[in-house]
Amino acid sequence: MTQGQQASSNSVMRLSDRAESRIEEIKKRYPDVRSAVMPALYIAQEELGHVTKEAILWVADRVSMPPVQVMEVATFYTMYYKKPVGRYHVQVCRTLSCALRGAAKLTEHMHKRLGVGPNEITPDGMWSFEEVECLGSCGSAPMCEINDVYFENLDPQKLDAILQRIEKELPNLRLSTLNDELGAGLAGAPLSEVRESGVRK
Amino acid sequence: MKHRQILLANVDFPDQATIAGYESRGGYKTVRKVLGMDPLAVREEVKKSGLRGRGGAGFPTGRKWDFIPAKCDKPVYLINNADESEPGTFKDRVLLERDPHLCIEGMIIAAWAVQSKWSCIYIRGEYGYPYVRIQRAVEEAYKHGYLGDNIFGSGFAHHMVVHRGAGAYICGEETALLNSLEGKKGQPRLKPPYFPAVRGLYDAPTIVNNTETLAACVWILENGGEAYAKIGTEKSPGTKLFACSGHINKPGVYEVEMGYPVLDFIEDELGGIWKGRKLKGIIPGGSSFPIMRADQLQGVTLDYESLVAAGSGLGSGGFMVMDDTTDMVEAAENVAHFYAHESCGQCTPCREGGHWIEKIFHRVAHGRGLPGDMELARSVANNVEGHTICAFGEALAWPAQAFIKRFPEEFTARIEEARIEEARIEEARIEEARIEEGLVAIGNRNGKENGARPSMHYQLKSNH
């Protein structure tokens, strides 16, 4: 980062009006604006695909923090992507409960189907995948998360069917919490699967 | 056995996440009553109930609230710790997703008890759908005037924020959570002060409670602390959510009265072990708690005391079951990998020790174990335990120690296999070297160095 880039707010980019008004509104909710750094990083990531250097500068400016501190936060947490990911980023849980019920088969399948390794992007920019630690869905293991949506009680065939549907229903699906279009209508939508995982009387 | 339903009574109603649905089943009735009570009397009820923190540590909730002085000139903050990230734990998710107003009502009750005007739900970042549900519920509560500057027309102001984490296990530790919420790296703070009630968010007194704990407060204030104390056992009153996973027929979230026998629970509630297999071991409280062998479970019940006495703990209620085909060395490696990955990196014993243990388990699991590896792993774990700022050190050390202690035969067998395999490879190599020697020094076959050189070779190899 050069000194010029750090200088003043007028050298910082502008995100969409929606993002700008959203961060201004979020800042007011906290006792101190510094608390808004995490939501701000999410907003920037949603717009830019991953946390770029410009995103760091944007966040730093909006929450009045030195860019280096924003960088510190962005690199500490795994959910801020420091490198580009696919339009659909598949995170396959590898921790004990999923491992006991065959998570390794899912990873293997992703590898074969996409033809890329973990944290690589398919040439068309559509897909990437990685193995991640426990996603808190152990009762419906094995499972994976695609963008912000959980897909549970999986096996390689089910996962494949989900990928196919995403490819078919592509343009309107963001599976994003921020845009609140959490996979509407998609097979394996979260609620039904949670029911399957069974709260029992 | 029919269980008493306190927390999960209404989660199956499709409209439970709306205020209309929630109120049709008696929701937001208790809080209206509570707002007319003396805040100290609210604390008294919770103390009487004997409710203990459901996040893992089991600290008495009423006592925690009492750390906040009745008259406090600083702002007081309340945090709902919904960062549940302990492997095997997914109980708070059900509440957030399917009965979000119960969480909100519990929080308002707690906020009144400690006179807090601002609270925050810190929800783990991966919980996309639960986040949307609780966020919508908070927005609806604002619209109804159940949150805001004058809640329920009582004159009491309370504001609530839903804050998403971003995938760091350590942020479930309360002081790490506070740092994270202050816009810093989520690293735990030095103790003392031991309680955020003394110095918490932005140095103000802060109460951090688990989601399940706060949700239980609604029933306690409705029915009285004494009624709650009658449920369960004397020292572990109430019901507890168990998130059950692994090799069982019916995984899911179960509400259980404390004191329920573990083996009955597995057989009668969880549908027994899948595929007609036998039970090998369980982890009763999330992966940081020591694993138990099946033969240790006779007479053990699901409550704080019994599980501790049996050499494990209730923890967060992440109940993981393993059948007799489970490879315990690989399971140990899997758990060690998690803790090595999630260490925040602040304290050296944990940052380095986690990776050491993972490497040792990895090589044992992959046929490269060395004699003495069990002792080495145990010694590393012992030196991490108790030598870190937060309890992550224990979370890392306990499972490592327990896997070795309770399934030593599996580790020994793996290491022995590796030794035999190594010897076999070495023998083949010596043989090969002999042949080579023979070919090179064809006229000198009776020289003694023929045997000496390969053995040198062997020593060099084993030093690597």
CATH number of B19-230: 3.40.50.11540
Strand, coil or helix: A92: strand
Pinpoint the alpha helices (H) of B66-99. 91-98
pLDDT tens track, chain B, 464 positions = 456 789 999 998 989 999 999 999 999 999 999 999 999 999 999 999 999 999 988 999 999 999 999 888 899 999 999 999 999 999 999 999 999 999 999 999 999 999 999 999 999 999 988 998 999 999 999 999 999 999 999 999 999 999 999 999 999 999 999 999 999 999 999 999 989 999 999 999 999 999 999 999 999 999 999 999 999 999 999 999 999 999 999 999 999 999 999 999 999 999 999 999 999 999 999 999 999 999 999 999 999 999 999 999 999 999 999 999 999 999 999 999 999 999 999 999 999 999 999 999 999 999 999 999 999 999 999 999 999 999 999 999 999 999 999 999 999 999 999 999 989 999 999 988 888 877 655 444 444 444 434 333 333 333 33
- H-run or E-run covering B462: helix B449-463
Q: Taking CB atoms and an 8 Å limit, are B252 and A36 in contact across chains?
A: no
User: What is the rounded CA–CA span in Å between residue A150 and residue B90?
Assistant: 13
List of E strands, B331-376: none
User: What is the rounded CA–CA span in Å between residue B414 and residue B419?
Assistant: 9
Residues of A in contact with B97 (CB under 8 A): 190-191, 194
Instruction: Name B98's bridge partners.
Output: none
User: What is the rounded CA–CA span in Å between residue B362 and residue B336?
Assistant: 9
Tokens representing B447?
A: 């020289």
Terminal Cα distance for chain A, rounded: 57
Q: Is the Cβ–Cβ distance between B272 and B252 less than 8 Å?
A: no
User: What is the rounded CA–CA span in Å between residue A50 and residue A41?
Assistant: 9
Q: Does A88 touch chain B (CB under 8 A)?
A: no
Nearest to B84 among A42, A136, A180 (CB): A136
Chain segment B329-353, per-residue pLDDT in tens: 999 999 999 999 999 999 999 999 9
Strand, coil or helix: B256: strand
Nearest to A136 among B85, B252, B330 (CB): B85
ipTM of the complex: 0.89
Q: Is the Cβ–Cβ distance between A41 and A70 less than 8 Å?
A: yes
Domain with CATH 3.40.50.11540 in chain B: 19-230
Q: Is the Cβ–Cβ distance between B73 and B111 less than 8 Å?
A: no
CA contacts within 13 A on the Cβ side of B227: 11
Q: Which of B209, B217, B211, B210 lies closest to B100, judged by CA?
A: B211
Smallest CA–CA distance, residue B143 to chain A, in Å, is 16
What's the pTM value of the predicted model, to 2 decimals?
Answer: 0.90
Q: Taking CB atoms and an 8 Å limit, are B244 and A95 in contact across chains?
A: no
Domain with CATH 3.10.20.600 in chain B: 239-323
Nearest to B253 among A139, A147, A190 (CB): A139
Q: Does A182 touch chain B (CB under 8 A)?
A: yes
Nearest CA in chain B to A59: B183
Signed CA dihedral, B297, B303, B308, B312: sign only: positive
Nearest to B251 among A41, A63, A139 (CB): A139
User: What is the rounded CA–CA span in Å between residue B346 and residue B170?
Assistant: 11
- In the block, which residue shows the tokens 């410009």? A54
- In the block, which residue shows the tokens 């999630």? B342
Interface residue of B1, B7, B98, B127 to substitute, partner A, most A CBs within 10 Å: B127
Q: Is the Cβ–Cβ distance between A55 and A41 less than 8 Å?
A: yes
Q: Taking CB atoms and an 8 Å limit, are A30 and B161 in contact across chains?
A: yes
CATH number of B239-323: 3.10.20.600
Nearest to A73 among B124, B183, B269 (CB): B183
Residues of A in contact with B338 (CB under 8 A): 95-96, 133-134
